Amino acid sequence: MSIPDQEYAKVIENLKIKGNSFVEQELDIQEGQALNFEEYIQKPRFAKIKNKKYVPVWNRKDKYEPLTEFQHVDRGHFADPSFKSLLSKKAGTQDYIDGVQVRNLTPKFGTEINGVQLSALDDAGKDELALYVAQRGVVVFRNQDLKDKRIEQVEALSNYFGRPHIHPTSPTVVGHPEVFLVYHENSPESAVSGIASRSTSTLTWHSDVSYEKQPAGTTFLAYLQGPSVGGDTLYADTQEAYERLSPEFCKRLEGLEATHSGVEQVNGALARGGVVRRAPTVSTHPVVRTHPVTKRHSIYVNPGFTRAIVGYKKEESDALLKFLYDHITKSGDLQIRASWEEGTIVVWDNRRAVHTATYDFDDVLTRHAFRITPQAEKPSEK
């Protein structure tokens, strides 16, 4: 459901901060104001950004209606399970062709690949990518050139795997709202600094935009620049987490639903002087979902956006969610740690993997990446 317009207007008015000096307010484009991009990217605060076409923009003129439902068919259904287009092998052997290196990060979850260029995949290769990522959960691709391609090619890749999601609050690329930007500066007024001031940890485990009726599926995050050491992303396997539960406990989870909310994310953006492109959404999803291709079950709750178990009293809901959160986020043997370097793209299945950035570096620098987030099917337990 979406918050009614009148109630939403009150939320915005109550949370406006007059005179806020945070970066989002001074970088946005006001109503009626035209953007001179060449002048905009010369702002002193962008001086350290290496790839200027990915300079972040917060545009107050971008307003969107609530998302409508659409029919999604996962590309993994069309894949050749031999992965001959994605991971070519020498004729008559099981050895990969020269230059292709594949290394599993754990036996069941996470793989690192070198020598495969995502920008060069044909449709068969993309279909196999969808299946491979569903089977491995997270795949780290090194030495990618997608960041150097035209942004239209980035958008086309997103379109292939589902309807591109336009984020309600985060910065985007000018003229390309489907390209989500991760952009953090080392500033005492940044969102990350705010988390660090309230908590002993900056970890924020979540599945991207799980508050949407049709949340993210196959997702791409491409690294542009950041610290030479640190700033890794942790991923946890909610499929393996489910399969480790006792059969009796799994029965307890059958039929349960939980609410996922984007309200708090919007409120946080407003409190920082940010922009809101679309009214926040609250959706209800099954606690256990089934992947449409692999048919495997996973636990579909996350601390970032899940709020309550439907039909449970608060104490009951909090207790169950705490157990599930702890099981997923505190079990190191369910997790991988993806390190970043320029040219890295991580592709993961948001239906199976939850993740969190780590802010364990003190350098005064910019952490910059772009994400494309194709939406998938409505979560289903069956």
> Which string of DSSP letters, residue by residue, matches 267-307?
HHHHHTT---SS--BEEEEESEEE-TTT--EEE---TTTEE
Segment 159-186, tens digit of pLDDT: 999 999 999 999 999 889 999 999 987 6
Considering the entire predicted model, what is its pTM? 0.90
Segment 202-246, tens digit of pLDDT: 899 999 999 999 999 999 999 999 988 889 999 999 999 999 999
As a whole number of angstroms, the distance between CA 265 and CA 262 comes to: 5
Percent of the chain with pLDDT over 70: 87
Segment 309-354, tens digit of pLDDT: 999 999 999 999 999 999 999 999 999 999 999 999 999 999 999 9
Q: Are 49 and 366 in contact (CB under 8 A)?
A: yes
The chain-wide mean pLDDT, for the chain, equals 89
- DSSP one-letter code for 175: T
Output the pLDDT for position 23.
Answer: 39
CATH number of 5-375: 3.60.130.10
21-31 per-residue burial string, b: 16 or more CB within 10 A, e: under 16: ebbbbebbbee
Segment 288-313, tens digit of pLDDT: 999 999 999 999 999 999 999 999 99
Segment 352-377, tens digit of pLDDT: 999 999 988 876 567 899 999 999 99
Q: How confident is the model at residue 91 (pLDDT cuts 50, 70, 90)?
A: confident
Type of residue numbered 2: S
As a whole number of angstroms, the distance between CA 288 and CA 300 comes to: 5
Q: Are 122 and 94 in contact (CB under 8 A)?
A: no
Output the pLDDT for position 162.
Answer: 98
User: In sequence order, which ranges of the chain are alpha helices (DSSP H)?
Assistant: 5-15, 23-27, 37-40, 123-136, 151-161, 191-198, 238-243, 247-253, 263-271, 314-329
**The pLDDT of residue 89 is above 70:** yes
Q: How confident is the model at residue 258 (pLDDT cuts 50, 70, 90)?
A: very high
